[in-house]
Amino acid sequence: MNTFKNKRSFFLALITFVISVCSLHAQTKPTVYVLATGGTIAGKGASATGSSYHSGEVTVDDLISAVPSLSDIANIKAEQVTNIGSQDMNDQVWLKLSKRVNELLNQNDVNAIVITHGTDTQEETAYFLNLTVKSNKPVILVGSMRPSTAIGADGPRNIYNAVACAADPAAAGKGVMVVMDDRILGADDLTKTNTISVSTFQNPNYGPLGYMYNGKPIFTRTSLKRHTINSEFDIHNLSSLPRVEIVLSYSNATSLFVDAAVEAGAQGIISAGVDNGNLTTALENALNNAVQKGIAVIRSSRIMTGPTTQWDEIDDDKQGFSASWFNNPYRSRVLLMLALTKTKDYKEIQRMFTEY
Ligand code: GLU
């Protein structure tokens, strides 16, 4: 009888011990929110080998349940912010997403955010958040190039790596990042370089922030640009953003699209010029006309790498233009939209383009 009692007490004690170790582990694991917006990562194809599919069809709960090992590294909470192909990404979703990220990261019980996103405009959303999230906690965007139903779908591995990176203390204070194809990329220099390859995203000027290896981040650089808690931009009271258009340069380019942007009420124009932001005479004159009407003009370039510098073939001070330096036309557009919430002065805008 005594032996039976002892055995029973032993097993009770053992069960209590196992339960408390498990709950301690759950408490010590970081809490990572996965905010889903759509894209190929949430896409379904008609076959495992074909390339046709519809993006934004799989819910965030399905995405997470495709990677059961996520619960080993973090307490996962999920929210569906929207479910669209990112070609339809827009200012309203940006504002909603940035406000929600800030709200969540203000909570003591939230450690990091992972955002699932289509790859088409991922670089623009990443940069918008890089400049408007007011927290040092990790914010990581992730996508995939293959739909969830394809052979060799890259989504589950990318989600695992994104959560593993977000859950790691080393990821704090690095600015907004994209984790895909085992690489950690900074929003400060993010460009999609290939329409079909899983290693499409690059940091072509500065190089990647690091790599994911065996579920751990290895960082190899930090961003020297202002971002997150060091950004001067604040969207929490905004319900819309200034309209900024991009005008492309090519041989024989006329004033047509600059004039149309001015007519449509744009507050800013990004010129995707040739080489170091050069322009046909017709475009240069049209952009100067726009400046005379109070529209901010940024000279950027259609070339993927290298800066668009001040004081080269175009006299920016004479024309009232600002140069984009290392920001390509897409990041320049995001930065100018935010800059215009504070100033219209081209010299002040130029300062921002050298600091961000
Ligand atoms: N066009 C879709 C999007 O950006 C799919 C592209 C992708 O996610 O790779 O959401």
Tens digits of residue pLDDT in 260-288? 999 999 999 999 999 999 999 999 999 99
For 15-20, what is the mean pLDDT? 53
Q: Is the dihedral of CA 40, 41, 42, 46 positive or negative?
A: positive
Question: Ligand 1 pocket, 277 CB below 6 A?
Answer: no
pLDDT tens digits, 24-39? 555 689 999 999 999 8
- Ligand 1 centroid–CA 180 distance in Å is 14
The closest of 180, 190, 186, 176 to 144, measured between CA atoms, is: 180
Distance CA 67, CA 162 (A): 12
Question: Ligand 1 pocket, 55 CB below 6 A?
Answer: yes
Q: What kind and span of H or E run contains 162?
A: helix 155-166
Backbone phi and psi for residue 142, each to the nearest 5 degrees, phi listed first? -145, 145
Distance CA 328, CA 248 (A): 12
For 182-203, what is the mean pLDDT? 98
- Does residue 52 surpass a pLDDT of 80? no
Quick one: angle between helices 281-292 and 256-263, nearest 10?
20
Ranges 48-52, 250-254, 347-351: which has the least confidence: 48-52
Question: Ligand 1 pocket, 148 CB below 6 A?
Answer: no
Q: Among 41, 53, 55, which residue has the most ligand 1 atoms within 8 Å of its CB, making it the best to mutate?
A: 55
- Ligand 1 centroid–CA 286 distance in Å is 34
pLDDT of residue 342: 98
Please provide the average confidence, as pLDDT, over all residues in the chain.
92
Question: Ligand 1 pocket, 51 CB below 6 A?
Answer: no
For 148-161, what is the mean pLDDT? 93
For 334-355, what is the mean pLDDT? 98
Nearest atom (ligand 1) to Cα of 41: 8
Question: Ligand 1 pocket, 45 CB below 6 A?
Answer: no
Distance CA 145, CA 266 (A): 33
- Ligand 1 centroid–CA 47 distance in Å is 18
* 25 residue type, one letter: H
First-to-final CA distance of the chain: 76
Residue with the bigger pLDDT between 54 and 325: it is 325
Q: What kind and span of H or E run contains 16?
A: helix 2-28
For the purposes of burial, counting CB atoms within 10 Å of the CB of 26, is it exposed (0-12), middle (13-18) or buried (19 or more)?
A: exposed
Q: What percent of the chain has pLDDT over 90?
A: 83
For 318-341, what is the mean pLDDT? 98
- Ligand 1 centroid–CA 56 distance in Å is 8
pLDDT of residue 46: 64
Distance CA 164, CA 215 (A): 6
Please list the active-site residues. 40
Say if CB 34 and CB 60 are below 8 A apart.
yes
For the purposes of burial, counting CB atoms within 10 Å of the CB of 11, is it exposed (0-12), middle (13-18) or buried (19 or more)?
A: exposed
pLDDT of residue 311: 83
Distance CA 242, CA 337 (A): 5
- Ligand 1 centroid–CA 145 distance in Å is 7
The CB-side HSE value for 174 (13 A sphere, CA atoms) comes to 29
pLDDT of residue 304: 97
- Ligand 1 centroid–CA 185 distance in Å is 18
- Does residue 43 surpass a pLDDT of 50? yes
Q: Among 81, 87, 159, 178, which residue has the most ligand 1 atoms within 8 Å of its CB, making it the best to mutate?
A: 87
Parallel, antiparallel, or unpaired: how do β-strands 201-202 and 177-180 relate? unpaired
Given phi > 0 = left and psi -120 to 50 = alpha, else beta, which region is 123?
alpha
pLDDT of residue 3: 54
Ranges 63-67, 181-185, 237-241, 325-329: which has the least confidence: 63-67
What lies within 8 Å, CB to CB, of 144 at 6+ separation is 39, 40, 41, 119, 153, 154, 155, 158, 180, 198
Question: Ligand 1 pocket, 123 CB below 6 A?
Answer: no
Nearest atom (ligand 1) to Cα of 56: 10
Q: How many CB atoms lie within 10 A of CB 344?
A: 14
Distance CA 201, CA 184 (A): 10
Say if CB 117 and CB 125 are below 8 A apart.
yes
Question: Ligand 1 pocket, 39 CB below 6 A?
Answer: yes
Residue with the bigger pLDDT between 16 and 223: it is 223
Structure tokens at 48: 């495992």
Question: Ligand 1 pocket, 116 CB below 6 A?
Answer: no
**What band does 51 get if pLDDT is binned at 50, 70 and 90?**
low
